[in-house]
Amino acid sequence: MVCKTNDIASKQKAIRELCKQKNAVILAHYYTRPEIQDVADFIGDSLALARQAADTNADVIVMCGVHFMAETCKILSPDKIVLVPDLEAGCSLADSCKAEDLKDFIKEHEGYKVVSYVNTTAAVKALTDVVVTSGNAKKIIDHFPADEKIIFGPDYNLGSYINSVTGRNMLLWHGGCHVHQRFSVEAIVELKEKYPEAITMAHLECKAPVLAIADVKGSTADMLRYAKQSDCSTFIVATEAGILHQMQQQCPEKTFIPVPPEATETIGCHCNECEYMKMNTIDKLLLCLQNNAPEVTVDEPTRAEAAKSIWKMLEWSK
C-alpha cells in the first residue's frame, strides 16, 4: 500500500490501520516529533519503554526513538519483530563508549562491578552487570554494598550526580550527550530572572553546575510527573525540547519554557533538539510498517548476555 496523500492525519490513519493488521505496537520516546507521539500506542522514558517492550503481546514492535532503544526491545522480546523508522538514528552518548574500549577498561580494573546507562549498545550491555536509566540509577546503585567497587558509564554527568547523592566514589567513564552538554547555567539564570516564580527542571545528563541550580532533577518521565502534580504554573525545562509537547498536552494550563543551548557548539545543529530522535518522521514510520523494514536484530550470544543486565535492572527497580 502506498500512501498518496500528504497530510499528517491521513498518514496517521494509515499507520493505525497497518498496526491493527500486523498486530504491531508503536512505542515512542518523549523526544520524538509531536505527530509521532500522537500516533504512538505508548510514550515514555527509557525505563517505561523497556518495561513496555518486555510486556507487550504484539507481534511487531515499532520503536520510535534511537537505535539502543530498539536493541533493548529486541533483547527483551527476541521472538518479536522490532522495526525502526530509520536505522541511522543513533545516540552520541552510546557512541561515546565502544565495547572494545570498555572491555580493556574492565580488564584494567579487576574486581569492579560494571554498571551501564541504558544509552549503550547491546555489546556494551553484554559486558555489564546491571543497566540503569535516569529514572532508577540511584535505586539500582543503592542495591550494592557501600564498599562495592563500581565502574559507571558512559554518562559522566549522571555518574557524578549519583556519586554526589550516594556518597560513593564510582569510577566514571567520560562520555556524554551532546544535547544535554549544551545547556548552560548562564542561559538558565537569564530565564530565572525573567520568570522568578518558575520551577527549573533539568535532566540528569546535564552538567553538574546546571543540576546544582535546578529545583527538579531526573529522567524525562520524572520531570513530566513533577509538572503534573505541582501547584506551580511555570517551568523552565533543561532537556531535549520534544518533551514540551507531552508537557503541554498533559498540563494545558501550565507554561513550559525550553532552555536554549549554548551558542558555542560546533558539532551538529545549534539547538536543544536531538537530531537522531528527529530522524523519526511520519513518512518513515508509515514506510517501515508498509515494508516491515528496517528491522533491528542482535546476535544471539550478545543478546543473551545483554538480557541478563537489563532483566536485573527491571527486577531491582520494581
Binding site for ligand SF4 (CB under 6 A): 66, 91-93, 119, 177, 179, 240, 274, 276-277
For the bound state, the minimum distance from the C-beta of residue 29 to ligand 13P, rounded and expressed in Å, comes to 6
Q: Which does 133 bind (CB under 5 to 8 A by kind): ligand 13P, ligand SF4, none?
A: ligand 13P
Q: Which does 46 bind (CB under 5 to 8 A by kind): ligand 13P, ligand SF4, none?
A: ligand 13P
List residues bridging with 99 in a β-sheet.
Answer: none
The total of other beta-carbon atoms located within 10 Å of residue 181's CB is 19
220 interacts with ligand 13P by CB under 6 A: yes
Nearest distance in Å: CB 76, ligand SF4: 19
**Is residue 205 a contact point for ligand 13P (CB under 6 A)?**
yes
Binding test (CB under 6 A) with ligand 13P, winner from 219, 272, 280, 317: 219
CB of 46 to ligand 13P, least distance (A): 3
Which residues from 105-124 bind ligand 13P, rule CB under 6 A? 119
Q: What contacts 99, CB < 8 A, 6 or more positions away?
A: 121, 123, 124, 126, 127
Please choose which of ligand SF4, ligand 13P, none residue 92 contacts, taking the beta carbon within 5 to 8 angstroms, the exact cut-off set by kind.
ligand SF4
Size of the site for ligand 13P (CB under 6 A): 10
The values of phi and psi at residue 25, to 5°, are: -120, 140
> Measured from the CB of residue 176, what is the shortest distance to ligand SF4 in angstroms?
8
H or E stretch at 111: none
What does 134 interact with, of ligand SF4, ligand 13P, none (CB < 5 to 8 A by kind)? ligand 13P
- CB nearer to ligand 13P: pick between 149 and 225: 225
Give the integer Cα–Cα distance in Å for 286 and 283.
Answer: 5
Between 11 and 157, name the residue whose CB sits nearer to ligand SF4: 157
Cell readout for 192 is 530565572
Q: By rule CB under 6 A, what string of x and - marks binding of each residue 128-147 to ligand 13P?
A: -----xxx------------
Task: Write the CB contacts of 129 (distance below 8 Å, at least 6 apart in sequence).
Answer: 113, 114, 115, 309, 312
Closest distance between ligand SF4 and the C-beta of residue 240, in Å? 5
- What is the closest distance, in whole angstroms, from the C-beta atom of residue 179 to ligand SF4 in the complex? 4
Residue 35: contacted member of ligand 13P, ligand SF4, none (CB under 5 to 8 Å, by partner type):
none
Other beta carbons less than 10 A from residue 37's beta carbon? 21
Cell matching residue 268: 551538529
Q: Which ranges in 144-198 belong to alpha helices (H)?
A: 156-166, 185-194
Give the shortest CB-94-to-ligand SF4 separation in angstroms: 7
Amino acid occupying residue 104: D
Residue 194 in grid coordinates: 525573567
C-alpha closest to that of 306 among 41, 126, 66, 37: 126
Exposed e or buried b for every residue in 117-144, given b needs 16+ CB within 10 A?
Answer: bbbbbbbbbbbbbbbbbbbbbeebbeeb
Task: Please spell the DSSP secondary structure of 64-78, one letter per residue.
Answer: ES-HHHHHHHHHH-T
Query: Which residues within the stretch 26-45 sit at the binding site for ligand 13P (CB under 6 A)?
Result: 45
Contact positions vs ligand 13P (CB under 6 A): 45-46, 119, 133-135, 177, 205, 219-220
